[in-house]
Structure 1
Amino acid sequence: MTQLALDKPLLRPERSLLTPSALETTLVIGYALLLFAAPLALLVAIVDRAPQAWPLALPLLLLAGYGLFLQGILGHEGFHFNLSDNRLYSCMLAVALSSMLTGFCVTGYFVDHWQHHRYNGSPQDPDWRLLRRYRLAATRLLVSRLHATAWYLLQTVRLALPGAKVSGTLPLPDRQIRLLARANLACQLLWPALWLLLAAKWPPLLPAVAGCLLLALLISALNAYQEHAFETDVALPVARSRTAALSTLLHLGSNYHLEHHLYPRVPCWRLPRLHRQLLASGWYEGRQALIEPRFFGALRYCKARFPYAGAWQTMPPPGSPGL
């Protein structure tokens, strides 16, 4: 069995890598929204004028699906406080943008994700308990993300209740988490209302948005295994970075997932720069299993021979809670 010693790199990121920038945040949000809205608008215009031409417009749907997926990535970044120096504002931006993914409540996700970083890849990791149970590519793609999304929604509803408390240590007070949960649920109603209002004028919009949601769901499901699924003879691998330029364009730099686990306060769009610094320092020598250089090569990690988080000699204790 190959056990990868993941001692933290000695590299100390420059302050410019760590400090949120209002200009960068604006540009990144603009890029993500443009990747979603521009191909979606073009697709709707084509289908509205020539319904029989919809098969030719499917590549636009794929691009818009990735753009919608990026709203979830921005939700993740906001709750890492990477969108603004003001933590609550960063989270509010995350809630507003990620709620475009109907059903995905980033506040409930945040509670689990904080523990995911703390116990990454171990039986105490909420993602390990959820995602390791799915072995087949079909269930990983079609079931795992639906399961997780439903759990995050339930968590958010619970957190929105008066006097709700959060178990474990989180970097926000309970009252702010309750506020974010309530805002999250409100946004979950507002975005569908907007789609319905716009669809009154452009009827093809609703099926197009539904297609984008399905694609974003599939991309998100695949993403989890691309980041944390390893061959059975690899123990304690932490995470994988996918270094293809196309991955960076479509994932906004979040494809450098190992760097994210090593330095979670570095915004995802700066992770490629951090990766280059780690390569130059020699830290990746002997750790090539943690890098996937091919965009399509990363698709294989959805197969059964790549269990989530590699091999663990220690199984969860009897009666340990699942999600």
Structure 2
Amino acid sequence: MTQLALDKPTLRPDRSLLKPSALETTWVVGYALLLFAVPLAVLVETLSLLPQAWPLALPLLLPAGYGLFLQGILGHEGFHFNLSENRLYSCMLAVLLSSMLTGFCVTGYFVDHWQHHRHNGSPKDPDWRLLRRYRLAVTRLLVSRLHATAWYLLQTVRLALPGAKVEGTLPLPDKQIRLLARVNLACQLLWPALWLALATKWPVLLPAMAGCLLLALLISALNAYQEHAFEACVDRPVARSRTAWLSTLLHLGSNYHLEHHLYPRVPCWRLPRLHRQLLASGWYEGRQALLEPRFFGALRYCKARFPYAGAWQAMPPPGRPGQ
């Protein structure tokens, strides 16, 4: 069995890598919104004028689906406080954007994700408890993300209740988490209301949005295993970075997931620069199992021979995600 050393790099990121930038946040939010909205608008307008052109227009759903997926990535970044120096504002922006993914409540996700970073790949990791149970590609793609999304929604509903307490140590007071949960649930109603209002003029928008949501769901489900599924011979892996330029373009730099676990306060769009610094320092020598240089090569991690976070031996029975 190959055991990978878990020693953290001695590299200390420059402050310019850590400090949130309003200009950069505006740029990445704009990029993600345009990647979603432009192909979706072209698709809807094309099919509204020429319904028979759907075989040519349908591929536009793919970049639009990636753009919608990026709203979830921005939700993740916001709750790492990477969108603004004001923590509450960063989280509020994360809630607003990620709620475009109907059903995905980033506040409930945040509670589990913080523990995921603290207990990465161990039985205390909520993602480990949830995602390890799915061993077939079909259940990983079609069931795992639905399961997680439903759990985050229930978490958010619970957190929105008066006097709700948060289990574990989190970097925000309970009062702010309750506020974020309530805003999150409100946004989950407002975005669908906007789509319905727009659909009165462009009826094809609703099936197009359903297609985007399905693609974003599949991308997100695959993403989790691309980041944390390893062959059973690799013991105690941290995470995987996918270094293909297309991955960086479509994932906004969040494909450098190992770097994210090592330096979670570095915004995802700066992770490629951090990766180059780690390569230059020699830290990756002997750790090539943590890198995937091919875009399509990363698809294989959804297969059964790649267990989530390493070997499946001696695992306790599955529990609920937050158990």
- Note whether the superposition's TM-score is higher than 0.5: yes
Measured in 1, the distance between the counterparts of 2:34 and 2:320 equals: 41
CA offsets, 1:186-219, max 9 Å, x none?
Answer: 0000000000000000111010001000000000
Measured in 2, the distance between the counterparts of 1:321 and 1:151 equals: 9
Amino acid at match of 2:74: L
Measured in 1, the distance between the counterparts of 2:314 and 2:8 equals: 23
Q: Per-residue deviation at 1:315?
A: 2.9
- Equivalent position of 2:308 in the other structure: 308
Measured in 1, the distance between the counterparts of 2:10 and 2:22 equals: 29
Q: Does 1:5 align with 2:5?
A: yes
Q: Per-residue deviation at 1:7?
A: 0.5
The answer to whether the 8 Å contact 1:237/1:290 transfers is yes
Alignment of 1:226-305 (within 5 A): 226-305=226-305
- Identify unmatched segments of 5+ residues in structure 1: none
Measured in 2, the distance between the counterparts of 1:3 and 1:322 equals: 27
TM-score by length of 2: 0.98
- Equivalent position of 1:174 in the other structure: 174
Amino acid at match of 2:203: P
The answer to whether the 8 Å contact 2:130/2:318 transfers is no
SS in 1 for 2:110: helix
Indicate how the Cα distance of structure 1 residues 102 and 320 shifts in structure 2: closer, same or farther if over 3 A, else same. closer
Measured in 2, the distance between the counterparts of 1:187 and 1:55 equals: 33
| Alignment length (residue pairs) | 322
The answer to whether the 8 Å contact 1:73/1:254 transfers is yes
- Equivalent position of 2:87 in the other structure: 87
Measured in 1, the distance between the counterparts of 2:204 and 2:91 equals: 32
Instruction: Quote the sequence identity (%).
Output: 88
The answer to whether the 8 Å contact 1:122/1:312 transfers is no
CA offsets, 1:208-263, max 9 Å, x none?
Answer: 00100000000000000000000011110110000000000000000000000000
- Equivalent position of 2:70 in the other structure: 70
Amino acid at match of 1:159: L
The answer to whether the 8 Å contact 1:3/1:236 transfers is yes
Q: Per-residue deviation at 1:9?
A: 0.1
Q: Does 1:25 align with 2:25?
A: yes
Measured in 1, the distance between the counterparts of 2:287 and 2:110 equals: 29
CA offsets, 1:267-294, max 9 Å, x none?
Answer: 0000000000000000000000000000
The answer to whether the 8 Å contact 2:145/2:220 transfers is yes
- Identify unmatched segments of 5+ residues in structure 2: none
Amino acid at match of 2:167: S
Amino acid at match of 1:219: I
Indicate how the Cα distance of structure 1 residues 320 and 49 shifts in structure 2: closer, same or farther if over 3 A, else same. closer
Q: Per-residue deviation at 1:319?
A: 8.4
Amino acid at match of 1:200: T
TM-score by length of 1: 0.98
Q: Per-residue deviation at 1:57?
A: 1.2
Q: Per-residue deviation at 1:322?
A: 4.5
Q: Per-residue deviation at 1:19?
A: 0.1
Amino acid at match of 1:116: H
Deviates more, 1:15-24 or 1:306-315: 306-315
Amino acid at match of 2:87: R
Measured in 2, the distance between the counterparts of 1:155 and 1:206 equals: 28
Amino acid at match of 1:297: G
The answer to whether the 8 Å contact 1:236/1:312 transfers is no
Root-mean-square deviation (CA, aligned residues, Å) is 1.1
The answer to whether the 8 Å contact 2:68/2:101 transfers is yes
SS in 1 for 2:97: helix
Amino acid at match of 1:272: P
Amino acid at match of 2:272: P
Measured in 1, the distance between the counterparts of 2:227 and 2:138 equals: 18
Q: Does 1:199 align with 2:199?
A: yes
